[in-house]
A and B are shown apart, each in its own frame.
Chain A
């Protein structure tokens, strides 16, 4: 596992503390760790294995089994496109194509500037509003290709402005 630089492992301490008593704590610890770093750095997995007194292979096995865990850094902004039955029928592929044309990324990819990650998921449970896109946790129903790329561009620009101002 390569060093991705500057991982502050002390941030995991409070997570261990929180789940100390809980049985079956590996998955919640991984979830919290990912929420802290945005992904699961190799050093963090090693530390977790060490602290839980379990094999690194077991931690790695769990981390790679579930689709929600990421072993690579993610973009600052995350876009999920729903490809459940209803959305699939109502044109998720057109939304994916619009994102690819505009930002050059396919599902699973992150833009080279580390700004945006695109993921395709099965069903967000909002089928009557198909097709559904979720940008940074905000659910957007009845999406259209042009509307989607405009919303993304606006989100990226606003975030950058806030950053510069700060």
Chain B
């Protein structure tokens, strides 16, 4: 296919918009959430069941697989829309529940196993003749936004769950590639950089460096070729923001990268994506191919004379490759070990050439900022951190999921309003951001506004978007040990402060959680942390002590309980627990005695059993297998 000029793109966009409207005329329009999380919950089987149901009802239907809506606990999720009926989204839509969902939608039957998540009322913002549409749900009764969506504002995630990620026409229908057309047609590269600077967009990888400034430095360096790189090596455990964007709306990242390349004068781009995200890589490849066929990538893009193409580089399993210099080393085909900065990548990056690296979300913001205007973006969030923040909210909250909120919202609003509070009878203990290189904040900091500067000031970090909520059943020492284990495994080994420091730190934390800690260990942790922070080559080593230091800052009494009293207040550290059997509750079923690996449990059948404390190795198996809650851990 010959590449498109702007007139042809406009025509194709118009056609795509027409088709987008036409779906409303179909007997039934169905979307199925088919991101990794939906698939893991059984969306593929759901899709097959939907096709069967459509055939049974003899409907002229359209089915579109979409990305993630963000409400992971309801997966799989489907949306039904028929003329004259409301758009309704259903959760727990596993294959066997599909018939009852159709019966409920068409015949008003009641639901037994699945649930109505909400009526779909897309939120639209109109500006400069462009529309930003995003998915949101209202309560079918009250017509008010459901509490999960009430405080959210979806910009980067606006298309996720709304459009088919494998369809460029869906993206075009919602003003996709309009920003690129405008940039190439009307703006000089310097104007693009000026606009991004003016929006005050800060990098969403975690460090929060002004994106426009990065672009300016890369443009100003006089050396060719130049590269733009998208960092999609999202490695923090508990983080899946970038995966959701890539799986739900890959074209927005591609469009942002082309605009960035035009601004700095690059002709080659790379997307470095971790190999653990096969679906993201597949959808990116489809998006790149579609963009090439449509003339939005390759030579003479939209007849502007600007050439640019993108190559996907698959990671090979190394957390440190999320660090920009290590990432570039990996693209070059080497061991992913960081090199010292300066010089910064904007001056000397990939193959020693000027390179601009941004996170997935940073690129995805760009087309929206160009369409809606820098002043619009600046008007959202706080003065120092405009725009929105995307978090993967996990842990002990009622509603886990992917959320996008305006900067400046408080942690309390996220945990209680968006997340629906703490699960069960648990009590809030801490919220952890930034994963293994981040920190946690306890209850007294719940009113901290969420933005780059406030979180840093409070002793935590914004991070790239992982947010884990801990309740009183979470042991903060074990939490710190877990992250230190992670860093220890993932340290690249190049510089001793990180390599040796994390190993020594882990030894001490293991000692404490095993009940062999001493009070001097606390000082030792602080001393090692200082060495790592000051001496490590890259952010991995410099920030690795953060989870330990912040738990020590806010929960030192918990460390002391482990060391002095030899107890674990959260009852998590197995070695510090004593297991006994409550003779009242024990039915004498014998399961614990059979499962005990050291035969420490004895008792007659149908009589209360007994644990021999001299033989017990504190493995916790009896506690887990008892169906009658008769095993007490203290």
**A residues within 8 A CB of B36?**
124-126, 139
Pairwise interchain contact B316-A128, C-beta atoms closer than 8 A: no
* Interface check B472, CB cutoff 8 A: no
Pairwise interchain contact B318-A66, C-beta atoms closer than 8 A: yes
Report the bound CA distance from A122 to B482 in whole Å.
11
* Interface check A14, CB cutoff 8 A: no
* Interface check B117, CB cutoff 8 A: no
**With contact pairs A86-B238, A128-B72, A129-B37 given, residues A24 and B394 touching in the complex (Cβ less than 8 Å):** no
| Least Cβ–Cβ distance between B470 and chain A, in angstroms | 9
Name which residue of chain B comes closest to A22, CB basis.
B311
Name which residue of chain B comes closest to A140, CB basis.
B40
**B residues within 8 A CB of A26?**
333-334
**With contact pairs A128-B72, A141-B37, A141-B40 given, residues A85 and B335 touching in the complex (Cβ less than 8 Å):** no
Q: Contact mask B471-507 → A, CB, 8 Å, 1/0?
A: 0001000000010001001101000000000000000
Report the bound CA distance from A41 to B297 in whole Å.
38
**A residues within 8 A CB of B75?**
128-129, 141
* Interface check B512, CB cutoff 8 A: no
* Interface check A94, CB cutoff 8 A: yes
Number of A-B residue pairs, CB cutoff 8 Å, is 122
Name which residue of chain B comes closest to A137, CB basis.
B278
**B residues within 8 A CB of A86?**
237-238, 394-395, 468
* Interface check B234, CB cutoff 8 A: yes
* Interface check A27, CB cutoff 8 A: yes
Pairwise interchain contact A66-B333, C-beta atoms closer than 8 A: no
Report the bound CA distance from A126 to B33 in whole Å.
14
B319, B333, B624 pick with most chain A CB within 10 angstroms: B333
Pairwise interchain contact A65-B319, C-beta atoms closer than 8 A: no
Pairwise interchain contact A125-B234, C-beta atoms closer than 8 A: yes
Name which residue of chain B comes closest to A34, CB basis.
B316
Q: Contact mask A32-69 → B, CB, 8 Å, 1/0?
A: 00000000000000000000000000000110011111
B237, B276, B624 pick with most chain A CB within 10 angstroms: B237
Pairwise interchain contact B334-A62, C-beta atoms closer than 8 A: yes
**A residues within 8 A CB of B445?**
none
Report the bound CA distance from A24 to B392 in whole Å.
33
Q: Contact mask B17-35 → A, CB, 8 Å, 1/0?
A: 0000000000000000000
A69, A123, A141 pick with most chain B CB within 10 angstroms: A123
Which of B316, B466, B486, B492 contacts A27 (CB under 8 A)? B316
* Interface check A108, CB cutoff 8 A: no
**With contact pairs A23-B351, A68-B275 given, residues A84 and B238 touching in the complex (Cβ less than 8 Å):** yes
* Interface check A31, CB cutoff 8 A: yes
Pairwise interchain contact A31-B40, C-beta atoms closer than 8 A: no
Report the bound CA distance from A86 to B435 in whole Å.
12
**B residues within 8 A CB of A62?**
333-335
* Interface check B73, CB cutoff 8 A: yes
| Least Cβ–Cβ distance between A34 and chain B, in angstroms | 9
* Interface check B386, CB cutoff 8 A: no
Pairwise interchain contact B317-A66, C-beta atoms closer than 8 A: yes
Pairwise interchain contact A125-B351, C-beta atoms closer than 8 A: no
Q: Contact mask A125-154 → B, CB, 8 Å, 1/0?
A: 111110010000101111000000000000
Report the bound CA distance from A24 to B192 in whole Å.
31
Report the bound CA distance from A30 to B624 in whole Å.
43
| Least Cβ–Cβ distance between B429 and chain A, in angstroms | 13
Pairwise interchain contact A128-B239, C-beta atoms closer than 8 A: no
Q: Contact mask A85-113 → B, CB, 8 Å, 1/0?
A: 11011000010000000000000000000
**A residues within 8 A CB of B439?**
none
Report the bound CA distance from A132 to B37 in whole Å.
10
* Interface check B332, CB cutoff 8 A: yes
**B residues within 8 A CB of A31?**
275, 314, 316
**A residues within 8 A CB of B336?**
65-66
**B residues within 8 A CB of A30?**
316
Report the bound CA distance from A88 to B317 in whole Å.
19
A residues near B (Cβ < 8 Å) are 22-28, 30-31, 61-62, 65-69, 83-86, 88-89, 94, 121-129, 132, 137, 139-142
Q: Which 7 A-B pairs have the closest CB atoms?
A: A128-B72, A66-B316, A84-B237, A125-B240, A26-B333, A68-B317, A67-B317
12 pairs, A vs B, C-beta closer than 8 Å: A23-B351, A24-B313, A31-B275, A61-B335, A65-B318, A86-B238, A123-B276, A127-B392, A127-B400, A140-B40, A141-B37, A141-B41
- Given A122-B489, A139-B40, 19 other A-B residues pairs in contact with their CB atoms under 8 A: A24-B333, A26-B333, A26-B334, A27-B316, A31-B275, A68-B275, A68-B317, A69-B316, A84-B237, A86-B237, A88-B237, A123-B238, A123-B240, A125-B243, A127-B400, A129-B72, A140-B40, A141-B40, A141-B75
